[in-house]
Every structure is written in C-alpha cells, then in structure tokens.
Amino acid sequence: MRKLFPSPVFKSLIWIFFGILLILPLLAFYPWKYRVVFVFLFVCFTILDLLFPLVATFFLAASGVFFGNHPGGRFLELQDCLWIYWCVRGIVENKLYGNRILEDPFWKSRIGVLLLSFFGTGILSLIVNPELFVDFKYYQKGWFWFLHSTELEPYYPIKLLFLGILFLFGLIARKNWLETNSETNSFYLIFASGVGFGMIVSIGFGWIEYFSPILKWKLNYYHRWLDGYKFLALPHSLIPGLKRYLPRFGIQSLFWNRSWFAVYLVSGLPFLFYWIFNISKNYKINIFKNNKLLKESSSEKTSPYIWVLFFMVLLVFGAVFF
C-alpha cells in the first residue's frame, strides 16, 4: 500500500491538497481576506503536521479555547475541518504502516466497551427518530451547512456523532502510527498536555477579566464582532460569603457565555489531572491499551509536589466558578 505514495514530497502534496479541499466549500461564505487567512492556516497546519505531528497535535488540542462561541457561530467549522484532517491522516498513515485499528486492545478495555455502547446508543437514537432525516428537505444542504449547523437543526446530532466516532478512531490510529514510527511513547500525554495548556490559557484570561475592566470590554467587543452580540449573565453566587467579591457579570474568558466556559473546564479536567500525575513519570503511557494505569500509578510513589499542584488546581477552579 505504500506504493500509493511513491515519494514523501508527493505524499505531502496530497495531504496539503486534502486540507485545502476540506475548507474549499467554506470559502464562498466569507470575504476574500478571510479566504486567504483560512488557506494559509490550513497549509501551515498541514506542513506542521507533516514535519512535527506531535507538535501539531499539541496545538490542535489546545486550540479549543479559541472556538468557544455558540454552535453555528463564525469560524467554528474551521476547527471541525482541522480535526477531520487530523483524524483522517492518522487513520491513513496507521493503515499504511500495517496497523489495524479494530485489533487495538483498547476495544477490549472497559472504557472501550463503554464508548462503543455510547456511540451505538447514539446511532440507535438516530434510527428511531426518522423525522430528523425527513426534515432535511427544509434545510439547506452542503458541507458548510453540515458543519455550520446549530442544535436546532437535524444535521447537528449527526454531525456530533460522526465527529465523535471519527475522533476516537483518529486518536487511536495516531497513537499506533506514531509508536510504530518510533517517534514517541507518550502520545496521550502530549495530547493531554495540549488540552491542559488550553485550559490554563482560558483560566488566565478569566482572572485578567476579573481584575481588568479593559480586558472585559475588549472581550465583549471581540464577541460582538464574532457573533453580533454578547451573552451576559449574573454570577452563580453559590457561596453567600463570597458574593461581595464577585464581578457584576459572570466570568466568561474567551467563551460566549459562562456555561460553555464551565463545560470546557470540567470536560478538560481528566486530561489536566492525567497530565499532572504523569508528567514526571518516564514510562510508556497505556491508558487506552489496558486498565493498569491505576495499578502502575499506585506502585510508584507520587511526589508530594504533585499533590500540592493538584490541590492548587482545585483551588483555582473553585475561585473561578464561585
């Protein structure tokens, strides 16, 4: 199968072309200046992924902090295309190296069975709701409209299920491909560090937003430019004693509203803690290969500094939320 790509240069050109092809249908919906930026972005990311796939993985995992506006908002389809490219290349490269995704031990693990059950439930929910497919005739069709769909459109659940399954296969394929290529034995740690870095950036903006009215105004202006308006909400005020220290409106950081900021932080916690507890360890990361992570971790003495960092993270999160 490697004969399909007779030379590294030709293979690189194919991947660059594929990246541009993904965003080509989107260009008609943006002014020409944005088109130039989009093409430049994808070419740069493709080249980075060709030269340093781990670095590209880190930045892509961290980029979620910049795509926090509401579903259907401007530019969100760009990140979808980036992830699709990342997954497809991982699957293809893994196949060219002779690896088979479905033979990975991950599928026999507990988390693998749970994820397969989750996606199976999602597919069944679509099958028992045929009216979603009937409603297609009332909506515009095309690649842009599929990626641009909101939670009120029939494309949206299909898009989420499709991207979720593709991401899982792409993640496992990239891990197998890079390990076979002898580039790393810590792919999941690098991915988790990217997510953790994005969370740190978002928390940093949140704290600066709290102390700096200028940044708060600039963030509001940014979201009005991005989506036409900014959703503002009062703080949660869950702890009465801290009410006088709360800002007038909830901290939203780079996100369109405080709820999505909170969802982003909570969903990233497993990656952040995985990063914290494994950053100082020098062994092969196999969290998705088997269920021995807790066993291996418990057999090694955890540094007290790691626990201090752990509780500091909880303290920072508590301050941001409350």
Q: Clarify whether residues 59 and 87 are in a common domain.
A: yes
Angle at 187 between CA 265 and CA 59, to 5 degrees: 55
Count of domains observed in the chain: 2
Give the tens place of pLDDT for each residue, 12-54.
Answer: 889 999 999 999 998 988 888 889 999 999 999 999 999 999 9
Check residue 295 and give its pLDDT: 41
Q: Clarify whether residues 40 and 170 are in a common domain.
A: yes
DSSP secondary structure string, 145-194? Answer: HHHT--TTSTHHHHHHHHHHHHHHHHHHHHHHHHHHTTS-S-HHHHHHHH
d(CA 34, CA 78): 12
Q: Clarify whether residues 32 and 174 are in a common domain.
A: yes
d(CA 55, CA 47): 11
Indicate the residue among 184, 207, 239 that finishes a domain.
184
Q: Clarify whether residues 99 and 172 are in a common domain.
A: yes
Range of the domain at 196: 185-322
Q: Clarify whether residues 213 and 308 are in a common domain.
A: yes
Give the tens place of pLDDT for each residue, 215-243.
Answer: 878 887 877 777 776 777 666 665 666 66
Q: Clarify whether residues 175 and 189 are in a common domain.
A: no
Q: Clarify whether residues 234 and 284 are in a common domain.
A: yes
Q: Clarify whether residues 13 and 61 are in a common domain.
A: yes
Q: Clarify whether residues 318 and 217 are in a common domain.
A: yes
Percent of the residues in the chain that have a pLDDT greater than 70, as a whole number: 74
Q: Clarify whether residues 290 and 214 are in a common domain.
A: yes
Q: Is the pLDDT of residue 201 over 80?
A: yes
Exposed, middle or buried: residue 9 (CB in 10 Å: 0-12, 13-18, 19+)? exposed
Q: Clarify whether residues 191 and 178 are in a common domain.
A: no
Q: Clarify whether residues 82 and 225 are in a common domain.
A: no
Contact status, residue 279 vs residue 190, Cβ threshold 8 Å: no
Indicate the residue among 127, 161, 184 that finishes a domain.
184
The tokens 């066993």 sit on which residue?
295
Closest CA to 89 of 16, 189, 25: 16
Indicate the residue among 163, 184, 205 that finishes a domain.
184
Q: Which amino acid does the sequence have at 322? A: F
